[in-house]
Structure 1
């Protein structure tokens, strides 16, 4: 008989770096991080402004644990870099954008993806393909916001998505759907035997 345990412990937030604190998306990320931190999850982000800062501030407001994976560029004027007001409990510094992205994927067990630009698209695409490749020993993700319904519908009709690629994520519109989505992920993953799985134990898919 399989032992069921909580596999999702660290949750990374991805999204637009330029949302002001007064915006709906910033407030949604703040509330989501606050709720998750209260529930014992560690909040992970890229150490920048916007959605990343909202994730940290939401978690810190209730005494939650926070981790930032950062990169301070010298020759990338269109990258937001480190936001000093985003003060986390622990920071891991990286030397380039790609290393930062893969460290974010490595140090999280699940991802919440808000509205964003090309950087968010790159994070979504990488998380998605890794989830497909290693399903059912994958890291699932949540698409947060009503706009994702149209985006995914368009991808279904214009791209070539395999059935397994549609199993690794959930779309939610409101904060109240967040914990139930995570519980459902845990239930789905518990149906598979992970007891001798290097991918799950050692994060081998990142090596």
Structure 2
């Protein structure tokens, strides 16, 4: 999910809606993590743990009864009609027909396309939004939407309730989600968890660097590259997810 420079006229922070001059310039994540120049951290950070706990409780309670699901990541900046949005919409529909709910970050671009594909195919479409200095809002194809203050709480929900990650072209946020998933699989924190890249041309440079630099320099092993499936074929991707799910 990429950042824009415009300041919102409205922000949703938990159950609260703020508008106009009441919209703060920072976020809850920023208040927690950016401690430079702060003198109140000893008192305020201890109380923030209750807010963090409440987000975990809200997420667990809201998503506990989900059917099998797949998390789909990609850029909020992708334009309607772009190749990645077309693939995302086709993928969302194919996953829904295979019996999976589709989880995204709830924003526009690739996320909205995947949610729309699932929704139009009669599947369950979930959006996990995040409080940012700009407000994107949940897209119109989300059936269950949760807005989080904290990235790390939101990322837990992406992993906990998904059987696989599918990653389409995106920026820093998408890369963060990709490598978090790979780290969890590589270290055995999650098992039987496919991680799939769609957009072969987009990801080819990264894969070449992983193979020719990371692998050649001994920073990863040959088996680590096998953690990824790279494909532009929607049916191949869905079949792969199903095959791992039933093994």
TM-score, with structure 2 as normaliser: 0.65
In the alignment of these two chains, the number of paired residues is 176
Find the aligned partners of 1:145 and 1:185 in 2 and give their Cα distance. 21
Structure 1 residue 158 corresponds to structure 2 residue 213: yes
Find the aligned partners of 1:97 and 1:136 in 2 and give their Cα distance. 19
Counterparts in 2 of 1:72 and 1:106: CA distance versus 1, 3 Å: same
Q: CA deviation at 1:175?
A: 1.8
Q: CA deviation at 1:105?
A: 1.9
Note if contact 1:56-1:66 (Cα within 8 Å) is conserved in structure 2.
Answer: yes
- Poorly superposed stretches of 4+, deviation over 4 Å: none
Note if contact 2:96-2:121 (Cα within 8 Å) is conserved in structure 1.
Answer: yes
Higher radius of gyration, 1 or 2: 2
Identify the residue that residue 130 of structure 1 maps to in structure 2.
184
Find the aligned partners of 2:121 and 2:159 in 1 and give their Cα distance. 24
3-state secondary structure, aligned to 1:25: helix
3-state secondary structure, aligned to 2:128: strand
1:41 to 100, 103, 125: 100
- Structure 1: where are the runs of 5+ without partners? 1-7, 191-207
- Structure 2: where are the runs of 5+ without partners? 1-66
Q: CA deviation at 1:174?
A: 2.0
2:122 to 63, 76, 79: 63
CA-based RMSD of the aligned residues comes to 2.1
Note if contact 2:193-2:244 (Cα within 8 Å) is conserved in structure 1.
Answer: no
Identify the residue that residue 109 of structure 1 maps to in structure 2.
163
TM-score, with structure 1 as normaliser: 0.77
Find the aligned partners of 1:52 and 1:86 in 2 and give their Cα distance. 11
